[in-house]
Structure 1
């Protein structure tokens, strides 16, 4: 049996206010062609299908068009989607009657019976092989909130141990259903202990990371665990069968040098045979200019030296992050950079500024009493001195004083 594992599409996401519908459509077109070329039996989408709980109509249309095309191209394809922490469980499940009729299973939230008990049977879904017979059982658990998991009042960490208990409960259902030669596959949208995060693009599920699960949750009875949430593809705890596939698109400039992928998962009977990475083509490049922060003059020289393909339509033009190291504030920085870029087929998405002040020169912390005694202009002077290593110039002090006289500024102060 062959499965394609993907997650964290974040349809509708913008990158520094630039719409990314073109890139998402390129990925979905590629994924559709890949499903056909690989003759996949199942597609597992492990959460964060949308970027927000209230996605745009265009983002929703992209999803449902893709699902329709996938089923038209591969009628026997099993598709299982679970909600992530970015998704609205209710919104994702709203078209469920129609999707069920197409053989597309969506689990947005933990279902419950009339008495309030968790409907464990509804979380265990069959996956069919090329013959049309059941080849595996899927434990399809969406992102779990504290109210979704069984109560474990005596546990040291009721939330985390409740998640582990729920996986054990649905596993027991799957073990009771399966026949010899049928594998068990788990899905989850969660943060695993030791998982490597992608800076700037991931939202912590629980402050402090106390939700992080051990890979032991997915024991030897589970042939493969298809996870979502972390945007870098990785094995969990070094285990071959517990994997994040990562996001298919770079979601921040921190991922500029990382090649995104989906995973091809081949099962042989009850066991995992092989996991292979299928690199996702990057429809729009991300550029960091220069590679390391540099003075403005060096940044402008690097921009001038850019070699960019001609004839790209605006949605396909690269995004650029300018990395400027300043000795003093430069109010006209954006205007200067936009002027340098105006004739180039590139989009200025982000300006990263840093100070030339030497690392390690950190001002001493203030006590609460000392902080309470400071006036707003005292705080401004201190911040300027901490960042640039010198006193704020008179024009900046005058501008700050004028700003502080505005009604909104007074209310904030």
Structure 2
């Protein structure tokens, strides 16, 4: 009798690999100045329970582990405590992580000795050898079973910054060439290493063409190109584990997937079905080699977006559930968008607060849709109290100068923002 995960057909042995795909934890995030620590604690406790029950061979975290490049000590403690607890519950499980565009790749690689104790590995940056060839060893990682047999290979591609991938040889003269070269080199090397009974997985933090975005995702601009094509992925790849987009979704093919974020990171994500993807690849099943199960993540704190005319908003606020929640950090979030044709009253925020049931909610945002009619034509003007992003500020200044809205100019500006962010990371790691 062969132990799991082996099966035998003829003289060939086939293996099965099972792993969890998750991403975009954004540990340390503040939501309108409110800490998400409790929500992350609840998610990580739930994930530990899933690991205990299902005992996967690997946990893949596809980038944006932290919310900022210089995470708080509390956010880092959350990650390392989780890794320690996961290792206690499933000592054979490997945790493979890559850096996202919110992470400092150098920072998450600095703790490698600590990660090794918990059977965890991280890939933060692309590295090159002295002869200008790509350092493949750090980017192609084996996944083992309980008998220490290799059941799969994982190509681990962190967020690709132009400065880390261009100008090294004739294949990397620009970002597009470099990205294609990286994928081709890594996939060919992984195909050379794997056997027919081993699976091939690619984990990447990128914005793929056809992916559906929310308003909480920072645009990724690489060489003036934001979205990458799925043609980068060879047919030999059994599963592509993507990070960056917060909505769980497939991209053109069932085996190319974003797991999505574990908690809603903006009000535009209220209706997202947050999940961890439980993936099984069975090399013996030729017709249905890949299968998955979307494990729904319970939401620990609810978000409410209330929209409408002022009287309607007031009534809907009063009709919300009214059972108090003692701990203020556990209270639910409320976003109000009210529609009016008149200027706001000076004490309107207090009126909203008074309409809300006591000791249950946190009113974090108020915005106004200004309605006016002229010659029977109704127009709307939105006033939002959120601080503007660099992209929005640039667009406003560009328009004030009298220039037309040019998408190419916006891409160039966002490319400069990405380079400035990279320089800030480098300065902090010196």
- Band of TM-score, shorter chain: 0.7 to 0.9
Candidates 23, 28, 48, aligned match of 2:44:
28
Matched, 1:64 2:66: no
1:82 and 2:98 are equivalent in the alignment: yes
After the TM superposition, which residues 378-393 of structure 1 pair with which residues of structure 2 at under 5 Å, given as runs?
Answer: none
Farther off after superposition, 295-304 or 143-152: 143-152
CA positional deviation for 1:168: 1.4
Q: State the Cα distance separating 1:130 from its structure 2 match.
A: 3.8
Deviations 1:140-185 (A, max 9, x none): 0100011222559988993133212201111122112112301110
Structure 2 partner of 1:334 = 349
Given the alignment of the two structures, is residue 243 of structure 1 paired with residue 243 of structure 2, yes or no? no
TM-score by length of 1: 0.82
Tell me the residue number matched to 1:387: none
Q: For structure 1, which segment, 48-57 or 129-138, has the greater mean C-alpha deviation from structure 2 after superposition?
A: 129-138
> How far 1:97 sits from its partner (Å)?
2.0
How well do the aligned residues superpose, as a CA RMSD in angstroms?
A: 2.6
1:133 corresponds, among 131, 149, 152, to: 149
Match of 1:306 in 2: 320
| More divergent stretch after superposition (240-249 vs 328-337) | 328-337
Q: Show the 5 A alignment for 1:309-388.
A: 309-330=323-344, 331-341=346-356, 343-357=358-372, 361=379
Greater mean alpha carbon deviation, residues 207-216 or residues 1-10: 207-216
CA displacement at 1:360 relative to structure 2: 6.2
- Change in Cα spacing, 1:246 to 1:343, as seen in structure 2 (3 Å) is same
Alpha-carbon distance in structure 2 between the residues aligned to 1:317 and 1:112: 48
The farther-off stretch of 97-106 and 56-65 is 97-106
Aligned to 2:125: 109
Question: 1:39 corresponds to which residue?
Answer: 55
Deviation at 1:67, TM superposition (A): 0.5
Equivalent residue for 2:115?
99
2:64 counterpart (48, 51, 54) = 48
8 Å CA contact retained: 2:26, 2:65: yes
Shift, 1:340, TM fit: 2.5
Matched, 1:224 2:239: yes
What does 1:183-222 correspond to in 2, within 5 Å?
A: 183-198=199-214, 200-206=215-221, 210-222=225-237
**Aligned runs of 1:162-181 on 2, under 5 Å?**
162-181=178-197
SS, match of residue 177 in structure 2:
helix
Q: Using the alignment, how far apart are the partners of 2:161 and 2:120 within structure 1?
A: 24
Determine if the alignment matches structure 1 residue 122 to structure 2 residue 127: no
1:257-336 maps to which residues of 2 (within 5 A)?
257-269=271-283, 272-289=289-306, 293-330=307-344, 331-336=346-351
Question: What is aligned with 1:254?
Answer: 268
Q: Distance in 1 between matches of 2:248 and 2:380?
A: 36
- SS at 1:328's partner residue? coil
Q: Which runs of 5+ in 2 are unaligned?
A: 1-16, 382-396, 403-430
Quote how far apart the aligned CAs of 1:31 are: 0.7
TM-score (norm 2): 0.79
Q: Distance in 1 between matches of 2:197 and 2:35?
A: 46
How far residue 102 of structure 1 moved from its aligned partner, in angstroms, is 3.1
Give distance in 2, aligned partners of 1:154 and 1:6.
35
The question of whether the paired residues in 2 share the 8 Å contact of 1:263 and 1:275 is answered with yes
SS at match of 2:192: helix
Extract unaligned runs of 5+ from structure 1.
374-413
User: Is the CA contact (8 Å cut-off) linking 2:216 and 2:266 kept in structure 1?
Assistant: yes
Task: Provide the C-alpha distance between the structure 1 equivalents of 2:41 and 2:91, rounded to a whole number of angstroms.
Answer: 21
Shift in Å at residue 131 of structure 1?
Answer: 3.3
Deviation at 1:211, TM superposition (A): 3.1
Quote the Cα distance in structure 1 between the aligned partners of 2:172 and 2:304: 46
Distance in 1, matches of 2:278 and 2:55, equals 11
**Across the two proteins, how many residue pairs are aligned to each other?**
363
